[in-house]
Amino acid sequence: MSSGASNTVNIPTPWSGRVWARFQCSNEGGRFSCKSGDCGSGQVACNGAGGAPPTTLAEFTLADASGKDFYDVSLVDGFNLHVSIVPQGGCPTTDCLVDINAQCLSDLAMKDGSGGTIGCKSACVAFNKPGYCCTVDHGTPETCPASDYSRFFKNLCPKAYSYAYDDRSSTFTCNIGPNYDITFCP
């Protein structure tokens, strides 16, 4: 979509998935690609493929077994664009409204060809270590606490997921039925 455009997507429930933005896209030689958030399909449609990190994610589980929707903004894969999720009907909003790229730590920054930061990697994406990814012997909340890197993200976007076990302040719920407005670069 072009800047300022909107799109309505009707999703049957139950459904679980992610929405993200791509930018600096081109369609050269019939192959669509983006420098940030690309899904590797070579087309505008991702056909089920996820976005390449670093990517800010709007995550949803709609109509789960408990009769609720769960949603969050996730920086677990890093940050590429700021986003907000606003449910219609009075449920809580969540967002990451700060341009983290402008403040990204040098060891997490993903640069474009001209030296500009087009994404800020999470520590898991940047270093691929179990202590940052909450895997292997760090696969529980007790063995994978917040790191200085995840606190960097959390301080800038307090309502967004900053690492795998950041549930208490970052997962939002709503009774089934509302529509959700997702806005990139609000």
The domains of the chain, with CATH numbers, are: 15-184 (2.60.110.10)
Positions of the chain with pLDDT lower than 70, given as ranges: 176-177
pLDDT score recorded for residue 85 = 96
- The sheet with strand 94-96 has its strands ordered as 94-96, 83-87, 180-184
102, two tokens? 């402008």
> pTM above the 0.85 mark?
yes
Give the separation between CA 126 and CA 170, rounded to whole angstroms.
22
pLDDT score recorded for residue 56 = 97
pLDDT score recorded for residue 67 = 81
Cβ(93)–Cβ(85) below 8 Å: yes
pLDDT score recorded for residue 99 = 95
pLDDT score recorded for residue 63 = 85
